[in-house]
């Protein structure tokens, strides 16, 4: 399937409609030429409503505090290709968090995105997305060390969600030692593009 046809089908996907209590809305953003491909678990309810990835409190922390880039730089499709393992908001679970996305979504779409995007760097955000690429490995070890996906550098980040406070308290070394390294690579990838 050619790239244009792939993306038309992805935007129109309703494969999981029977699993949701809402209309599916696949959310992703970016150019296949973007130097950075960011992959998370699934859109939040806010992202589902707006159609913009990470357009919520988690995204604000990610862009402004962690990456230290402007909203314009983050949402520039020539800089970032932003996607997730599950393309649609999966609904809420009984504990107040979001449900896990249906496995079929990654099987149908994520491998195609990995084929089409010509990025130089991967950012994998959150444990659920990390488990897709690095199953059964220690999440902390993955966060604290460099990884590769398809021979390209990959950096694993905890999810910036306010619900993740305990992880941040338990692992202050992420902010002290790891985040500056990841930020340097992000800025390097953005600067090398221009």
What CATH number does residue 129 fall under?
Answer: 3.40.470.10
> What's the pLDDT score for residue 194?
57
User: Could you list the residue range(s) of the whole structural domain that residue 187 is in?
Assistant: 3-193
Collect all residues with Cβ–Cβ distance below 8 Å to 87 and sequence separation of at least 6.
10, 13, 26, 27, 28, 42, 43, 101, 105, 109
**For 44-84, what is each residue's pLDDT tens digit?**
888 989 989 999 889 999 999 999 999 999 999 999 999 99
Number of structural domains found in the chain? 1
Q: How confident is the model at residue 21 (pLDDT cuts 50, 70, 90)?
A: confident
- The answer to whether 88 touches 19, Cβ cutoff 8 Å, is no
Q: What is the mean pLDDT of the chain?
A: 94
Query: CA–CA separation, 131 vs 129, rounded Å?
Result: 5
**For 87-112, what is each residue's pLDDT tens digit?**
999 988 887 778 889 999 999 999 99
**DSSP type of residue 109:** I
Q: Which residues of 99-129 are buried (b: 16+ CB within 10 A; e: fewer)?
A: bebbeebbebbbeebbeebebebbbbbbbbb
In Å, how far from its chain's centre is CA 60? 14
In Å, how far from its chain's centre is CA 176? 22
């Amino acid at each position: 399937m050619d790239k244009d046809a792939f993306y038309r089908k992805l935007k129109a996907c309703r494969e999981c409609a029977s699993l949701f209590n809402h209309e599916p809305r696949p959310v992703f953003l970016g150019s296949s030429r973007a130097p950075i491909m960011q992959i998370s678990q699934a859109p939040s309810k806010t992202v589902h409503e707006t159609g913009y990835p990470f357009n919520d409190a988690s995204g604000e922390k990610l862009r402004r505090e962690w990456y230290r880039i402007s909203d314009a730089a983050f949402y520039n499709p020539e800089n970032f290709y932003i996607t997730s393992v599950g393309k649609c908001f999966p609904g809420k679970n009984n504990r107040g968090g979001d449900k896990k996305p249906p496995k079929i979504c990654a099987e149908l779409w994520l491998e195609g995105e990995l084929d089409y995007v010509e990025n130089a760097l991967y950012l994998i955000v959150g444990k659920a997305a990390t488990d897709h690429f690095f199953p059964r490995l220690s999440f902390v070890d993955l966060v604290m060390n460099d990884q590769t996906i398809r021979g390209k550098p990959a950096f694993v980040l905890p999810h910036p969600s306010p619900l993740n406070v305990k992880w941040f308290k338990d692992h202050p070394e992420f902010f002290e030692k790891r985040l500056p390294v990841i930020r340097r690579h992000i800025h390097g990838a953005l600067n090398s593009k221009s």
